[in-house]
């Protein structure tokens, strides 16, 4: 199979490329990535140079670039997106452009070039918050932030191309991912690297917001399964079955690194902060999916990776990161 992976220099995309090339050595992957602040070719240093992998720098919003990138490919897996809620509150325009218009450009390429399968990588955040129970794929989307709204919009666009043009599309909606190579604006890598530098941990509100966590390797295996065995036109929730409050996550990180709780800095809650995410993954399980990593083991692996790879995250915590940090957590000293 020949795959076009968009956003493959980002966190989940780079882990997915590594997963596919290691599992299917006869597959060929083209990685199209704009290399924005979160796109990092260091994420794929061990892959670069393989004869069945090539990198193209480009924007999914550029129809000419996309048309060139899809030549000869069998399937597209679209990871390319702006993904951070805090940034979407500060700068929503880029989210609408990339997540919705970029998806439109890719769908038009699928239609024009007869691509056999298109996988849209989405998020459980499109459903909004739920106090009890779990969202299914049939639940209405009720996004709370510009980020989740942009992903919900792109999901609806994908669905419309299935209904109108009968394109071979599938949507995956995963819960919160964690693991190696995650840009340190997100909770787990931010707090791990801040602890390693003895910096404060900016914890929103009371810290009791609940997220379901899935190790990125398990999510990549689930996307692989959907790519090969998923039903066209369907949505598949990908949950880890590991619901934890943000304060629990924070305390696990402090415990793993042997640091005191006084590093926690309570800050004002962000606008529209969803209280709890929870998704039902029964449809995916019916395809044969089962997570391979327990939460405690995977968290230990994650903490260890950041501790052993300072060369990666210290470069990533660049001037752009520091500017964003001050905007988002202004009351916390950098």
Which residues are known catalytic residues?
Answer: 124-125, 147
Closest CA to 165 of 233, 99, 119, 105: 233
Interatomic CA distance for residues 8 and 98, integer angstroms: 15
Alpha-carbon distance of 186 to 83, in angstroms, equals: 10
CA distance 154 to 102: 9
């Amino acid at each position: 199979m020949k795959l076009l992976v968009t956003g493959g220099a980002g966190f989940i995309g780079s882990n997915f490329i590594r997963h596919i090339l290691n599992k299917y050595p006869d597959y060929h992957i083209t990685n199209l990535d704009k290399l924005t602040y979160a796109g990092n070719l260091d994420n794929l240093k061990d892959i670069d140079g393989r004869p069945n992998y090539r990198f193209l720098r480009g924007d999914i919003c550029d129809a000419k670039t996309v048309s060139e990138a899809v030549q000869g490919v069998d399937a597209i897996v679209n990871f390319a997106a702006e993904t951070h809620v805090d940034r979407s509150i500060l700068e929503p325009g880029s989210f609408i452009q990339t997540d919705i218009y970029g998806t439109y450009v890719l769908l038009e390429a699928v239609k024009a070039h007869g691509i056999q399968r298109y996988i849209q990588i989405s998020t459980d955040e499109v459903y909004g918050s739920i106090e009890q129970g779990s969202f299914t794929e049939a639940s209405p989307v009720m996004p709370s932030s510009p980020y989740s709204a942009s992903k919900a919009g792109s999901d609806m666009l994908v669905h419309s191309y299935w209904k109108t043009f009968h394109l071979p599309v599938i949507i995956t909606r995963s819960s919160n991912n964690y693991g190696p190579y995650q840009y340190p604006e997100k909770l787990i890598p931010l707090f791990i690297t801040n602890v390693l530098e003895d910096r404060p941990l900016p914890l929103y509100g009371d810290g009791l917001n609940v997220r379901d966590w899935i190790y990125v390797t398990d999510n990549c295996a689930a996307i692989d399964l959907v790519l090969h065995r998923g039903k066209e036109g369907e949505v598949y929730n990908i949950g880890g079955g590991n619901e934890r409050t943000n304060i629990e996550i924070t305390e696990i990180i402090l415990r793993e690194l042997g640091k005191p709780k006084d590093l926690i800095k309570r800050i004002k809650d962000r606008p529209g902060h969803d209280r709890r995410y929870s998704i039902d993954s029964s449809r995916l399980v019916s395809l044969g999916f089962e997570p391979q990593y327990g939460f405690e083991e995977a968290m230990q692996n994650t903490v260890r990776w950041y501790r052993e790879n300072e060369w990666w995250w210290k470069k990533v915590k660049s001037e752009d990161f520091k500017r964003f940090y001050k905007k988002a957590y202004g009351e916390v000293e950098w």
